[in-house]
A and B are shown apart, each in its own frame.
Chain A
Amino acid sequence: MDLTREQHLAMHRSMVRIRLFEEAAGSLMEQGKMPGFLHLYVGQEAVAVGVCEALRVDDFLTSTHRGHGHLVAKGGDLPRMMAELMGKATGYCGGKGGSMHINDLSLGMLGANGVVGAGVPIAVGAGFRNKYVGSDQVSVAFFGDAATNIGAFHEAANMACALHLPVVFVCEHNKYGEYTPTDRTMLIADVVDRAAGYGMPGVIVDGMDVIAVYAATSEAVERARRGEGPTLVEAKTYRFYNHHGIQNLGLKYRPDEEVVAWKERDPIFSFEQRIVESGVASREVLDATWAELRTAIDEAIVFADESPFPDEDQLLAGVFTESAHP
């Protein structure tokens, strides 16, 4: 796949943004500065970034409980994200959604979701809208391997195919549903085997390789834009930290050797090696990106820290839309 230098650097930058944001968030949680649940995306950066590189800003996506990476990759604003995670008034949801409901409708990011699989039918609805209005916009549903055992996934996948909707289903197969290994909860090794059951093509891609993800998704997106219906893309990937929070090694539900082996395939470091070895950019350029983004994250934390909590009058605001159309 021919990619420009700018594309390489943009994808690298986006992955580093996710990595630094997530590690900062995890650290803040461990310091007790962040309330609630935190499902970190670290390790899976190549999936969100590879997919979103294949999308336009006006394409839609729905996300999961592990959703920060998807919003960052779609172009999310780090200070507003950090503020939301801290429950501040300046956050994306005014502090009322938090990590699991973070969204940016102006970027077509229709929300992280606290219910496994529940975003998939909503992505199909956005895909329906695209076809209905005659647009070539597409809609992407991100979900995990475990979500493919949920009824909503099957209903939505079948409906998208039956109605020939411009939807791309992106399964991030990270081998665990919370703390249970996926090979104990489904007998097939590859989620993509399910695609044939709905009459759509399926493709397996190395989810630690951002260019591979980008290439596979681009094909699926172009197919959807041409009106040829949905595709299931299965990215084999791994979350470096825990299901919830940052702790990783030493938990009994997955072997330390497995974690170490996947970390050796770190999607950012392996991409950097490729960039440097192929002469696309120098180590110094990449290091400068890290340094610049560290500053950006620090600024986001300061912004969030200094932002006020929402006023009490916000408690009941936004349950309903007040102004009905005439």
Chain B
Amino acid sequence: MTDERSLTYVQAFTEAVRLEMDADPDVFIAGEDVGAHGGVFHTFDGIQKEFGERRAVDTPISEQAIIGLGIGAAVAGLRPIVDLMFMDFVLVAADQIANQAAKLKYMFGGTATVPLTITTTGGAGLSAAAQHSQSLEALFCHIPGIKVIYPSTPYDVKGLMSASVRDDNPTLFVLHKRMLGTRAGPVPEERYQVPLGVANVSRQGKDVTIVSWGKTAVDSLAAAEQLAVDGIDAEVIDLRTLSPLDIDAVVASVRTTNRVVVAHEAVRFGGFGAEVAAQIQEHAFDYLDAPVGRVAAPYSPVPFTPALEQRYVPDSHSIAAGVRATMARPLLGG
């Protein structure tokens, strides 16, 4: 059965790109090493071979110009996919992303359409040190006008990437570099979309809700299994899209579990978990039996040595520990 076919996280991405390019001649890819080399993480393997140099464009290492290329092409009618290789490099192109791509439509009174997909890889775990390991998704959630997507399963990678390309807005599509070749799962062969802005309840539970995304969503599932041994039944919500945020799914879960932990790989201070926590207390304060817990990276750049990096990045054990702390909190007034 085709439904049982398994692809890796990165293969699912490449397949989405291939299908979108096949379906629409206005879709092209551009970026450093995306053409002849197929991307440093094999994200675009075989694309140039299939679609040629015209539609799989190797550019100079010029992040601002790569994004600008995408913006100008998008406003003029194409549907570009432009790649920034490492999420850390989005900062090199921050003006073009945040001040130009995200704002053109609004500044132009709604007349401009910018169907631009920016792809990149985030996250630590490869001893890539502080400039190649960051999780900067919160920065772009703070900018109105750009959608932020961070999938955790191969199925979602493919469906969300197709949806991002077809969306008429700028999207920042983040792959976690630790899962590219290692995480596999069932992926249908046909072209399909997973809607942007819709969270997924990846594990049902009744005692506590864990809200997460990206690789941490996978680690949260593992944490839930550890907690199950202790008799704690955790529900796991994989946000999949951070902006727009599916707060309804989170609130619906919290109203039944009454306890919630937000887990992410980014630095805790000012992280996107803070926004999720704030919205939970705005929408479900009376349902909470404990303060919203957070599990995230400490306030430091990502360290190089594996000895420290392993301590830095939240994993299933630290997520489970965070959940236990939230569970141990006595009922307010109790």
Residue on B nearest A161 in the bound complex, by CB:
B60
Of A111, A129, A326, which is within 8 A of B107 by CB? A111
Stretch of A148-156, A177-185, A226-234, A294-302 lying at the B interface: A148-156
- Contact indicator A124/B68 (Cβ below 8 Å): yes
Shortest CB-to-CB span from A127 to chain B, Å, is: 7
Q: Indicate whether A317 reaches chain B with its CB closer than 8 angstroms.
A: yes
Q: Indicate whether A93 reaches chain B with its CB closer than 8 angstroms.
A: yes
Q: Indicate whether B95 reaches chain A with its CB closer than 8 angstroms.
A: yes
Q: Indicate whether A92 reaches chain B with its CB closer than 8 angstroms.
A: yes
* Residue in A62, A93, A317 whose Cβ sees the most chain B Cβ within 10 Å: A93
A159 CA / B71 CA spacing, docked (Å): 14
A166 CA / B117 CA spacing, docked (Å): 24
Shortest CB-to-CB span from B49 to chain A, Å, is: 19
A120 CA / B68 CA spacing, docked (Å): 8
Q: Range of interface residues on chain A?
A: 35 or more
Residue on A nearest B166 in the bound complex, by CB:
A325
- Contact indicator A159/B109 (Cβ below 8 Å): no
- Contact indicator A320/B105 (Cβ below 8 Å): yes
Q: Range of interface residues on chain B?
A: 35 or more
Inter-chain contacts of A318 with B (CB < 8 A): 105-106, 109-110
Question: Which residues 196-236 of B sit at the A interface, judged by CB distance below 8 A?
Answer: 196
Where the two chains meet, the residues of B that have a C-beta atom closer than 8 Å to any C-beta of A are 28, 30, 54, 57, 59-60, 62-78, 80, 95-96, 99-100, 104-113, 115, 144-145, 147, 163, 166-169, 196
Where the two chains meet, the residues of A that have a C-beta atom closer than 8 Å to any C-beta of B are 60, 62, 91-97, 101, 103, 105, 110-111, 113-115, 118, 120-130, 132-133, 139, 151-152, 155-156, 158-159, 162-163, 317-321, 323-326
- Contact indicator B65/A103 (Cβ below 8 Å): no
- Contact indicator A152/B72 (Cβ below 8 Å): no
- Contact indicator A132/B73 (Cβ below 8 Å): yes
A77 CA / B78 CA spacing, docked (Å): 27
Q: Jot down 16 A-B pairs with beta carbons below 8 A, ordered by A.
A: A92-B108, A97-B108, A111-B107, A111-B108, A111-B112, A121-B96, A125-B70, A125-B73, A125-B76, A126-B73, A126-B76, A133-B78, A152-B95, A155-B68, A324-B166, A325-B168
Of B28, B96, B144, which is within 8 A of A118 by CB? B96
Inter-chain contacts of A120 with B (CB < 8 A): 68
Inter-chain contacts of A124 with B (CB < 8 A): 65, 68-69, 72
